[in-house]
Amino acid sequence: MRSRSATSPARPGKSSGTTQHPRIAVVGCGVIGISWTALFLANGCEVSAYDPAPDAAARIRKGIAGIAPRLAAMGYRTASMEKRLRIHADLAQAVREAGIVQENGPERMAFKRMIWREVEKHAAPDALFLSSSSSIKATTQAAGLRNPARMLVGHPFNPPHLIPLVEVAPGRRTSPEAVRAAVEFYRSMGKHPVVLRKEIPGFVANRLQGALLRESVSLVKKGVVTVDELDEIVTHSIGLRWATGGPFVSFHLGGGPAGFQGYLKQFTRALNLLWLLLQVTPVYMTGSVKSMLLGQIAASFGRTPVGELEARRDGDQIAILDALVHSRVRGKGKK
Amino acid sequence: MRSRSATSPARPGKSSGTTQHPRIAVVGCGVIGISWTALFLANGCEVSAYDPAPDAAARIRKGIAGIAPRLAAMGYRTASMEKRLRIHADLAQAVREAGIVQENGPERMAFKRMIWREVEKHAAPDALFLSSSSSIKATTQAAGLRNPARMLVGHPFNPPHLIPLVEVAPGRRTSPEAVRAAVEFYRSMGKHPVVLRKEIPGFVANRLQGALLRESVSLVKKGVVTVDELDEIVTHSIGLRWATGGPFVSFHLGGGPAGFQGYLKQFTRALNLLWLLLQVTPVYMTGSVKSMLLGQIAASFGRTPVGELEARRDGDQIAILDALVHSRVRGKGKK
């Protein structure tokens, strides 16, 4: 399993505390941009953050201050990391000295094309262009660029400073060198990049989430469980399982000594029947479905402030990442 | 979040080392039956295990010996727990003194009905009847019983000695008292029971797994990722996330200060489009899909012996469960 060799945010990248990296321009500083900025700074990088909003500078500094303790809990040295940060309201200034641009603007095609053309005007000719987009393909984004070979998607899973995955999705005209450079860059930031072999709407992780959410909504709609009971079922079974191994290796181990073949022998009929049911059962986020979900949420975990839920989640998340690093180190020691 | 109050196999049930429970009959000792037997013994119960196979006794003892070290790693006292085990090749003897029967036979309707009628002939009139079935409803199983009120499904997630979830699925004629007794019993064994509100084929966790596997197979079929890349994506994103919180609370926290409402505002269109695509795209476990998956597995994690993969998974699983218990204890201390 490749996941054995996982880097993880519980292990800061090699460059922590020193500057081996080119300056990074973070373009667009909402939740994702701020999280990237904090992570890049904690890894010892010089960062130029760009956001056109009038309150951007204060918001960025406040956001970073909120993330710093969590980065510290993961083993990063965060003291004085803000000294490596410059904040710009001017795009040209932000990208001028950057070797890498990580873009996090609004998810609109016209915006992405516009911003990349602007970036290209002012950036160094060999700067790498990375988009955090969760839905717009690199091929589409790079359509107006003189040099689309250096542009690709590097889609993080929220929040980027905590969750290891980055989906690296090159476009039709992205060069293999740019893909390699992106992978190396994300690894050096302590992330776990996976290169997708084809461009597809929603990439991989969000499509999987969407497929599971669809059945979750369907089960709540049918009255089999409430939203909090469904969450309870996931955290006490498949969530735990999929933190240790993905669905394929899990079913491989569920098949007895014959592995996945044994699993298929036992469950092909049941799976095909379920998949037929899923296909013929429409599930959509209609007005009444939304009201039902929001009502149940308001009556359960919605009663706890979002900040408190978030702090618990992040505490649990860091504990799990840490536990996996130690379990895997122990596992290797045994060989 | 209810999951806060989670019991977990990292915390043995209260009765560990003493006998507060009635004798438990485990009917059918394949992988699931043996795992239940080991867990019940480790919790201090007297167990009568029944399996008609000629090699059953040796197989059961070997299985339990294999599980014992993992139970010990979870904090159970496993020394001499086999003294509380009797193995029977005769069903009548196995169930005669039992207060609880946990059934784990083949997944065939005719078999389930037959075995329960046999069990009812020999068991005490107030014994509780629980089936580990992953697919056959209690209503169907209990159809031939004189007293169907005491029969229901208690479906564990494999392996039962490790994964906390038990789906408690009462039938149409199951009494509320039987449901309460089942919930109490599983809790006292360190499990996390969730009572389903309606009977549905596949219950909840396996339907969710099946929905995610469907999209996983579709992505591999389309050539977007290989099976091991897909697993890598899951373990480094949604798996980690869903070990800390289920899909609903996760999207609630992904929606910013407005919670799930904010999430819906941003993503309803994208979700409905994806769900439409899922509905119009047929995915089935055909011969060629099976060959493709098996070929990719053989070239990746299939090269590692199943026993080794299993030991890693269980090591990671115990580490995660332990980390969550400690993270939550810390979280409560802060309040």
Distance in angstroms (rounded) separating the CA atoms of residues A32 and A193: 17
Decide if pLDDT at A1 tops 80.
Answer: no
User: Which pair of tokens denotes residue A9?
Assistant: 């945010």
| CA nearest to A116, candidates A210, A105, B10, B288 | A105
* pLDDT higher than 80, residue A332: no
pLDDT of residue A255: 85
Residue A191 has pLDDT above 60, yes or no: yes
Q: Please answer whether residues A138 and A112 qualify as being in contact, where contact means their C-beta atoms are separated by less than 8 angstroms.
A: no
- B11: contact with A, CB 8 A cutoff: no
pLDDT in tens, B218-227: 999 999 999 9
Those of residues 288-327 in B touching chain A at CB distance below 8 A are: 290, 293-294, 297, 300-302, 304, 306, 309-313, 315-324, 326-327
B73 touches chain A (CB under 8 A): no
Mean pLDDT of B288-306: 95
Q: Is the pLDDT of residue A217 over 50?
A: yes
Residues whose CB falls within 8 Å of the CB of residue A43, separated by 6 or more in sequence, listed in order: A12, A13, A15, A16, A21, A76, A188, A189, A190
Q: How far is B314 from chain A (nearest CA, A)?
A: 8
Residue B12, pLDDT above cutoff 70? no
CA-wise closest residue to B243 among A161, A71, A321: A321
Cβ-Cβ contacts under 8 Å, B246 against chain A: 216, 230-235, 239
What percentage of chain A carries pLDDT values higher than 90?
87
pLDDT confidence of residue B279: 92
SS (HEC) of chain B: CHHHHCCCCCCCCCCCCCCCCCCEEEECCCHHHHHHHHHHHHCCCCEEEECCCCCHHHHHHHHHHHHHHHHHHCCCCCCCHHHHEEEECCHHHHHHCCCEEEECCCCCHHHHHHHHHHHHHHCCCCCEEEECCCCCCHHHHHHHCCCHHHEEEEEECCCCCCCCEEEEEECCCCCHHHHHHHHHHHHHCCCEEEECCCCCCCCCHHHHHHHHHHHHHHHHHCCCCCHHHHHHHHHCCHHHHHHHCCHHHHHHHHCHHHCHHHHHHHHHHHHHHHHHHHHHCCCCCCHHHHHHHHHHHHHCHHHCCHHHHHHHHHHHHHHHHHHHHHHHHHHHHHC
Q: Is A233–B204 a contact, with Cβ atoms under 8 angstroms apart?
A: yes
Are A241 and B212 inside 8 Å of each other by CB?
no
Confidence of residue B6 (pLDDT cuts 50, 70, 90): very low
Q: Is A245 on the interface with B (CB under 8 A)?
A: yes
The answer to whether residue A210 neighbours chain B at the CB level (below 8 Å) is yes
Percent of chain B with pLDDT over 70: 93
Backbone angles phi, psi at A77, to 5 degrees: -85, 110
DSSP character at residue A15: T
**Which tens digit of pLDDT belongs to each residue from B117-146?**
999 999 999 999 999 999 999 999 999 999
- Confidence tier at A12 by pLDDT (50, 70, 90): low
DSSP annotation of A22:
P
- The band of B295, judged by pLDDT with boundaries at 50, 70 and 90, is very high
What does pLDDT average to over chain A? 92
Q: Do β-strands A47-50 and A85-88 pair in parallel, antiparallel, or remain unpaired?
A: parallel
- On chain A, the residues whose CB falls within 8 A of the CB of B223 are 197-198
- Please state the φ and ψ torsions of residue B125, each to the nearest 5 degrees: -65, -20
- CA dist., res. A211 & res. A195, Å (int): 21
> Looking at chain B from residue 20 to 39, which residues have their Cβ under 8 Å from any Cβ of chain A?
31
**Cα–Cα distance for residue pair A100/A27, rounded to 1 Å:** 11
- Of B3, B192, B224, which is closest to A196 when you measure between CB atoms? B224
Residue B5 pLDDT > 70: no
Rg (CA), chain A: 22
Q: Residue B24: which residues within 8 A CB-CB, separation 6 or more?
A: B40, B45, B46, B47, B48, B98, B99, B100, B101, B102
Q: Which of A8, A31, A235 to mutate to test the interface with B (most CBs of B within 10 A)?
A: A235
Residue of B nearest to A201 (CA): B274
Judge: B302–A260 Cβ closer than 8 Å, yes or no: yes
CA end-to-end span of chain A: 15
Q: In terms of DSSP bridges, do strands B128-131 and A151-156 run parallel, antiparallel, or are they unpaired? A: unpaired
d(CA A293, CA B246): 14
Single-letter residue type at B57: A
User: Do the beta carbons of residue A63 and residue A30 sit within 8 Å?
Assistant: no
> For residue A181, what pLDDT is reported?
98
Q: Looking at this protein, which amino acid is placed at residue A286?
A: T
List CB contacts (< 8 A) between B214 and chain A: 211, 271, 274-275, 278
Q: A335 or A267, which is more confident? A: A267
Is the bond preceding A159 in cis, omega lying within 30 degrees of 0?
yes
**Buried-state track A96-127, b at ≥16 Cβ within 10 A, e below 16:** bebbbbbbbbeeeeeebbebbeebbebbeeeb
Q: How many of the other CB atoms lie within 10 Å of CB of B228?
A: 22
The answer to whether A284 faces chain B, any CB pair under 8 Å, is yes
User: What is the arithmetic mean of pLDDT over B81-92?
Assistant: 97
Q: How far is B65 from chain A (nearest CA, A)?
A: 18
Most A-contacting residue of B107, B212, B297, B325 (CB-CB within 10 A), to test interface = B212
**pTM for the structure as a whole:** 0.92
CB pairs under 8 A between A and B: 423
- State the smallest CA–CA distance between residue B130 and chain A in angstroms: 19
Residues B226-279 have pLDDT tens digits of 999 999 999 999 999 999 999 999 999 988 888 999 999 989 999 999 999 999
Q: List the single best residue of B62, B203, B276, B301 to mutate versus A (max A Cβ within 10 A).
A: B301
Structural element, H or E, at residue A179: helix A176-188
ipTM of the complex: 0.93
Q: Is the peptide bond before B159 cis (omega within 30 degrees of 0)?
A: yes
Residue B217 to residue B224: CA distance in whole angstroms: 10
Cα gap B224→B286, rounded to integer Å: 19
Q: Please check the confidence at residue A231 and state whether its pLDDT lies above 90.
A: yes
Write the CB contacts of A36 (distance below 8 Å, at least 6 apart in sequence).
Answer: A26, A102, A104, A132, A156, A160, A161
Given a cut of 70, is residue B46 above it in pLDDT?
yes
Mean pLDDT of A75-95: 96
So what's the pLDDT on residue B13?
52
Whole-angstrom distance, CA of residue A284 vs CA of residue B320: 34
Chain B interface includes A279 (CB < 8 A) = yes
Please give the pLDDT value at position B335.
43
pLDDT tens profile B169-223: 999 999 999 999 999 999 999 999 999 999 999 999 999 999 999 999 999 999 9
Provide mean pLDDT across the span A241-258. 92
What structural domains and CATH numbers belong to chain A? 2-195 (3.40.50.720), 205-303 (1.10.1040.10)
Location of structure tokens 């469904």:
A230
pLDDT of residue B330: 79
Q: Tell me the percentage of chain A whose pLDDT exceeds 70.
A: 93
Q: Minimal CA–CA distance to B9: which of B45, B49, B36?
A: B36
The DSSP-derived string for A100-120 is EEEE---S-HHHHHHHHHHHH
Predicted local confidence at residue A249, as pLDDT: 96
Identify the residue among A166, A228, A233, A322 best suited for mutation to test binding to B, counting B beta carbons within 10 A and taking the highest.
A233
Selected residue of B284, B312, B322 to mutate for chain A interface (largest A Cβ count, 10 A): B312
Whether residue A130 is predicted with pLDDT greater than 50 in this model: the reply is yes
Asked if B154 contacts B168 with a C-beta cutoff of 8 angstroms, the reply is yes
Give the residue on A whose Cα is nearest the Cα of B245: A235
Q: Which letter does DSSP use for residue A2 in this model?
A: G
